[in-house]
Amino acid sequence: MEYYNYLKSLHLIFVITWFAGLFYIVRLFVYQIEAADKPSPEKEILQKQYKIMTYRLWYIITWPSAVLASIFAYWMLFFTDLGQAWLQMPWMHVKLGFVFALYLYHGKCQQIFNQLQNDQVKYSTNFMRLWNEGATIILFAVVFLVILKSAVNWIYGVAGIFAFSILIMLGFKFYKKIREKKSNH
Please give the single-letter amino acid code of residue 95.
K
Secondary structure letter of residue 123 according to DSSP: S
Q: What is the pLDDT of residue 154?
A: 66
Domain boundaries, the chain: 2-184
Q: What is the pLDDT of residue 170?
A: 84
Secondary structure letter of residue 110 according to DSSP: H
DSSP characters over 126-168: HHHHHHHHHHHHHHHHHHHHHHH--TTTHHHHHHHHHHHHHHH
Q: What is the pLDDT of residue 157?
A: 67
Q: Which residues in 134-169 are b (16+ Cβ under 10 Å) and which e?
A: bbbbbbbbbebbeeeeebeebeebbeebeeebeebe
Please list the rounded mean pLDDT of every run of 10 residues in the chain (185 residues): 88 98 97 95 96 98 98 93 89 92 98 97 92 89 84 70 79 81 79
CB 159 within 8 A of CB 144: no
CA distance 154 to 164: 15
Q: What is the pLDDT of residue 59?
A: 98
64 prior amide bond cis, ω within 30: no
Q: What is the pLDDT of residue 39?
A: 95
Q: What is the pLDDT of residue 145?
A: 85
185 carries a ligand binding annotation = no
